Amino acid sequence: MQAAECTWTHFEMLRPLCFKSPSTTPLFFNFSKHFQKGFSDSSFFRSNRRISNYPSFMATISSLSTHKDPVSTHDATPNITHQPVQVAKRLEKFKTTIFTQMSMLAIKHGAINLGQGFPNFDGPDFVKEAAIQAIKDGKNQYARGYGVPDFNNAIAARFKKDTGLVIDPEKEVTVTSGCTEAIAATMLGLINPGDEVILFAPFYDSYEATLSMAGAKVKCITLRPPDFAVPIDELKSTISKNTRAILINTPHNPTGKMFTREELNTIASLCIENDVLVFTDEVYDKLAFEMDHISMASLPGMYERTVTMNSLGKTFSLTGWKIGWAIAPPHLTWGVRQAHSFLTFATSTPMQYAATVALQAPDSYFAELKRDYMAKKAILVQGLKDVGFKVFPSSGTYFVVVDHTPFGLENDIAFCEYLIKEVGVVAIPTSVFYLNPDDGKNLVRFTFCKDEETLRSAVERMKEKLKKK
Amino acid sequence: MEGKLSSVAKNFTPSPIQELSQLAQRCNAINLAEGFPDFPAPPCIKEAAVSAINNDFNQYRHVQGICDQLALKMKKTHGLDVNPLTDIAICCGQSEAFAAAIFSIINQGDEVLLFDPCYETYEGCITLAGGIPVYVALEPPQWTLDPEKLMRSFTSRTKAIVLNSPHNPTGKVFSRDELEIIAEGCRRWDCVAITDEVYEYITYDNQKHETIAKLPGMQERTIITSSLSKTFSVTGWRIGWAIAPASAASTIQNIHIRITDSAPAPFQEAALTALRSPIEYFETLRGVYELKRDFCMKLLGSVGFRIQFKPQGSLFLFAELPKDCLLSDVEYVEELIQQAGVVVVPGRGFFHGNESCKYQKRYIRVAFCKSEATLNAAAQKFGELINAKACPKIVY
């Protein structure tokens, strides 16, 4: 008989950290302050109804349809009485409306999509087959909350290979539904309301959202072109004994920047000095082209205060499987596991078995991955330069940001709309990744996680139709 | 670093339940504890998942077809009009749907009513969101709802009530009258009902599951959460949903996207196949589980249990220890592991509240969502004990 993996072992979990949100209104339609959504924001309903979180906003192109605003069709219920709720400032900043408008335009104009942050090719057969085998073998029930043991072991082995650090898979690894959930669980599990957290802009938009769910006070440091280097003086003046944590995404979405050893060392010493935690998002670590990827956790004195997060999706082109993980010392893992157990409880079982196989892929897999992406990058980067963009160097990820101002449009959103309508190519306006949108208005992001033909076609279209002013 | 941990973290101590779990593993016990099946999921649904993986449904997605199917089901089963384009959020399991629902409406200090006993995870979510769980005890042995007790529990700070029906751990299915009482409370106090209906298709003796959302004045103030997991024996696939008025559904969707961004893509595809299952599937499901329920009742009867409340739904039997048994729930479970090699769950973990009622330590929960082989093996072990007449602590 199978040994007990009892779902009731979570009884021993104690109350996790509480977090505050200020609103006290009892009405149903007054949601907790961070998530108020106005009925005036009806474009949300009119278009694809999916708030376009950054990497996935194009995902629903195939399921888009035009439809009317919702009309109550209830028979017996009385009128819903409510005041139209003002859209919270925070939600405005997320620019979700922009994304949905972009999606609609893209379809309407048959644009080539270099905006969406996921591949238009699929993952390797050996990983897919492992998932299929797991389903057939009956691995379809709840996995252990913090991960299937074999998978935790594989994560630890991979981490050792990549960083040299030896960790305990049972006590220091937590499996989550994608790196997105690892980030949410880390924030909710380790950040108290009112804690200061430092973010580098531009940033993946879920960071800000989950930080606001955790009630954190966000302090933002902007990385600027051309090299998006960390402004050390600004960092020194921002970090203090009041700082609870700093979030680092390297290789960095959207700029492709990779934090250098020097930068990481400086950040590390400031963190040690001020007793600050570090949360790292390293999902693009295998897409490191111009330099070696460095994990903050591997720096002296840093493992004990770092949560290292990663996922399967980007490395294995299986972004929809939602397999991620967080590696941290036991006292931090505890907080992550607490929150995780209340967010999703357990992660997809068959995919964990497949991920175990994936992480054990031979070096040749990763070498080939890099080669493929570098070839794609060359096509795009050269193409963008030929077209006339100012292209900033991107050391890692499958993104590159460019300055669009040579083409005379007033800001990034206007440029992207123009690009879709007149040229037939999609890029992402980067202003959505900044606390202050103005910081991003000259920049747009292209992705090269597409097959070569798509990349070439997009470049051709831009060469043909995009003219400098 | 120690100084940065929360005070809650510092109070962590190992629990007797954790220790029992480890004991069960060491003894390789027959598992009637965990609430998931040890038999295979339906082949056609697994095939649909395999096919999805092969056909490259492996990137982030939102499968609108699931919402369409769910809207059809809501109309057919409950007569509810649900807009598939605006009223449904697909999540990573009912777990995430519930968490997102709580985060969408609970503010610091909001009270949330829960029926006691109940599934442990609700409280954790509520507390994580800054809410205050308030328990309303169902009264043994029939787990009846006392209307006055319920009404007294509502205050001006009550924001929501959680309703899990069919109910884990008792197997109770809330009756129409009981739903009316709860609805009255919600309407009077302007509260939201958040339901957990994961066992919606697992009811017995011709009992039907009804959602509170269909009662007058309730659809506009109910968030329904459910999933594929128990209906289709795929608890590890993490496909669930929330159905609610558009504003709530969109907020839940927003939150879901920030927590996980997408439910596993190939399983969303497979969900389409699952949700289109013919009515015979659900009838067979019910029938098979009813037989298992009856088997388990007999099993416990054979060792002296007097089952006063027959489960009307869910996958669990919540049984009070025999009168002559002087052991606590934890002690009984320990004996059962060691003497019979069978593991069940001590009931105390499901009880909360300030009532220091003795009955809270007198229940065990048995999961009967197990294969015939497992149930027969358990029966055999019990049989041996009865025949040997050497186990006074288990056989009464």
* pLDDT tens per residue across span B44-62: 999 999 999 999 999 888 8
Round to whole Å and give the CA distance between B235 and B67. 20
Count how many residues are written for chain A.
469
CB A356 within 8 A of CB A151: yes
Round to whole Å and give the CA distance between A431 and B287. 57
The residue in chain B having the minimum alpha-carbon distance to the alpha carbon of residue A338 is B124
Closest CA to B256 of A51, A2, A394: A51
Round to whole Å and give the CA distance between B137 and A425. 60
Q: Is the pLDDT of residue A76 over 70?
A: no
CB A279 within 8 A of CB A183: yes
What is residue B53's three-state secondary structure? helix
Those residues with Cβ within 8 angstroms of residue B384's Cβ, 6 or more apart along the chain or in another chain: none
CB contact under 8 A, B237 and A15: no
CA distance A361 to chain B (A): 19
Displacement of CA A171 from its chain's centroid (Å): 25
Give the one of B4, B40, B86 whose C-beta lies nearest to A138's C-beta.
B40
Residue A394 is which amino acid? S
**Antiparallel, parallel or unpaired: β B345-346 and B192-196:** unpaired
What is residue B223's three-state secondary structure? strand
Give the one of B21, B60, B247 whose C-beta lies nearest to A39's C-beta.
B247
* Degrees, nearest 5: CA angle B245-B250-B255: 130
Give the one of A2, A12, A347 whose C-beta lies nearest to B238's C-beta.
A347
CB B197 within 8 A of CB B213: no
Q: Is the pLDDT of residue A89 over 80?
A: no
Is-cis flag, bond preceding A251, omega within 30?
yes
Query: Which CA distances in Å does B357 have to B90, B141, B326, B353?
Result: 40, 13, 16, 10
A214 interaction partners in chain B (CB closer than 8 Å): none
* pLDDT tens per residue across span A102-135: 777 888 899 998 988 889 899 999 999 999 999 9
Round to whole Å and give the CA distance between A36 and A86. 7
Note whether B89 contacts A: Cβ–Cβ < 8 A: no
Count how many residues are written for chain B.
396
Note whether B58 contacts A: Cβ–Cβ < 8 A: yes
Round to whole Å and give the CA distance between A43 and B68. 21
**ipTM beyond 0.90?**
no
pLDDT value, residue B140: 93
Q: Is the pLDDT of residue A206 over 80?
A: yes
Structure tokens at A130: 């492992």
Note whether B361 contacts A: Cβ–Cβ < 8 A: no
Round to whole Å and give the CA distance between B213 and B80. 8
CB contact under 8 A, B124 and A135: no
Note whether B367 contacts A: Cβ–Cβ < 8 A: no
Structure tokens at A249: 């995404």
Answer with the residue of higher pLDDT: A84 or A145: A145
CB B1 within 8 A of CB A331: yes
CA torsion sign for A350, A351, A352, A353 is positive
CA distance A466 to chain B (A): 31
Query: Which CA distances in Å does A344 have to A105, A341, B134, B218?
Result: 34, 6, 23, 27
pLDDT value, residue B133: 95
CB contact under 8 A, B220 and A8: no
CA distance B1 to chain A (A): 7
**What kind and span of H or E run contains B101?**
helix B93-105
B2 interaction partners in chain A (CB closer than 8 Å): 331
| Range 269-328 of B in CB contact (< 8 A) with A | none
The residue in chain B having the minimum alpha-carbon distance to the alpha carbon of residue A85 is B247
In order of their start, the domains of chain B are 2-40+280-390 (3.90.1150.10), 43-277 (3.40.640.10)
pLDDT mean across residues, chain A: 81
pLDDT band at A86 (very low <50, low <70, confident <90, very high): very low
Note whether A81 contacts B: Cβ–Cβ < 8 A: no
Task: Calculate mean pLDDT across residues A434-447.
Answer: 94
* pLDDT (tens place) for every residue of chain B, 396 residues total: 444 555 444 444 455 666 777 777 788 889 899 888 989 999 999 999 999 999 999 988 889 999 999 999 999 999 999 999 999 999 999 999 999 999 999 988 999 999 999 998 899 899 888 899 999 999 999 999 999 999 999 999 999 999 999 999 999 999 999 999 999 999 999 999 999 999 999 999 989 999 999 999 999 999 999 999 999 999 999 999 999 999 999 999 988 988 898 899 999 999 999 999 999 999 999 999 999 999 999 999 999 999 999 999 999 999 999 999 999 999 999 999 988 999 999 999 899 866 568 899 999 999 999 999 999 999 999 999 888 887 788 888
pTM over 0.90: no
Q: What is the DSSP letter of B92?
A: S
A103, A116, A345: which to substitute to probe chain B, counting the most B Cβ within 10 Å? A345
The residue in chain B having the minimum alpha-carbon distance to the alpha carbon of residue A122 is B56
CB B336 within 8 A of CB B303: no
| Range 250-289 of A in CB contact (< 8 A) with B | 275, 277
B251 interaction partners in chain A (CB closer than 8 Å): 31, 35, 37
B227 interaction partners in chain A (CB closer than 8 Å): none
Round to whole Å and give the CA distance between A437 and A451. 31
B75, B119, B257, B268: which to substitute to probe chain A, counting the most A Cβ within 10 Å? B257
pLDDT value, residue A469: 73
Round to whole Å and give the CA distance between A413 and A383. 21
CB B187 within 8 A of CB B196: no
Task: Calculate mean pLDDT across residues A260-264.
Answer: 97
Give the one of B2, B127, B258 whose C-beta lies nearest to A15's C-beta.
B127
A67 interaction partners in chain B (CB closer than 8 Å): 85
pLDDT value, residue B61: 81
What are the backbone angles phi and psi of residue A425, rounded to the nearest 5°?
A: -135, 145
B37 interaction partners in chain A (CB closer than 8 Å): 141
Give the one of A14, A15, A51 whose C-beta lies nearest to B257's C-beta.
A51
The residue in chain A having the minimum alpha-carbon distance to the alpha carbon of residue B29 is A3
Task: Calculate mean pLDDT across residues A357-383.
Answer: 97
* Degrees, nearest 5: CA angle A333-B234-B208: 120
Round to whole Å and give the CA distance between A310 and B158. 39
CA distance A283 to chain B (A): 14
Task: Calculate mean pLDDT across residues A65-83.
Answer: 32
* Degrees, nearest 5: CA angle B174-B176-B178: 55
Task: Calculate mean pLDDT across residues A319-335.
Answer: 96
Give the one of A74, A118, A335 whose C-beta lies nearest to B81's C-beta.
A74
CB contact under 8 A, B238 and A15: no
Those residues with Cβ within 8 angstroms of residue A412's Cβ, 6 or more apart along the chain or in another chain: A404, A429, A430, A431, A440, A441, A442, A443, A444
Is-cis flag, bond preceding A84, omega within 30?
no
B2, B60, B103, B381: which to substitute to probe chain A, counting the most A Cβ within 10 Å? B60
pLDDT value, residue B394: 83
The residue in chain A having the minimum alpha-carbon distance to the alpha carbon of residue B92 is A344
Residue A469 is which amino acid? K
In order of their start, the domains of chain A are 94-122+364-465 (3.90.1150.10), 125-360 (3.40.640.10)
Displacement of CA A121 from its chain's centroid (Å): 19
Note whether B38 contacts A: Cβ–Cβ < 8 A: yes
pLDDT band at A253 (very low <50, low <70, confident <90, very high): very high
Note whether B339 contacts A: Cβ–Cβ < 8 A: no
CB A77 within 8 A of CB B219: yes
CB contact under 8 A, B219 and A77: yes
Task: Calculate mean pLDDT across residues A221-236.
Answer: 96
CB B150 within 8 A of CB B185: yes
Round to whole Å and give the CA distance between B179 and A320. 39
Note whether A87 contacts B: Cβ–Cβ < 8 A: no
pLDDT value, residue B194: 97
Round to whole Å and give the CA distance between A142 and A188. 23
B17 interaction partners in chain A (CB closer than 8 Å): 8-9, 11-12
B247 interaction partners in chain A (CB closer than 8 Å): 29, 31, 37, 39
Matching residue, tokens 């399983």: B267
Q: Is the pLDDT of residue A32 over 50?
A: no
Note whether A66 contacts B: Cβ–Cβ < 8 A: no
Matching residue, tokens 């490395």: A315
Round to whole Å and give the CA distance between A66 and B232. 33
Q: Is the pLDDT of residue A94 over 60?
A: no
Structure tokens at B200: 């919606």
Residue B70 is which amino acid? L
CB B162 within 8 A of CB B198: no
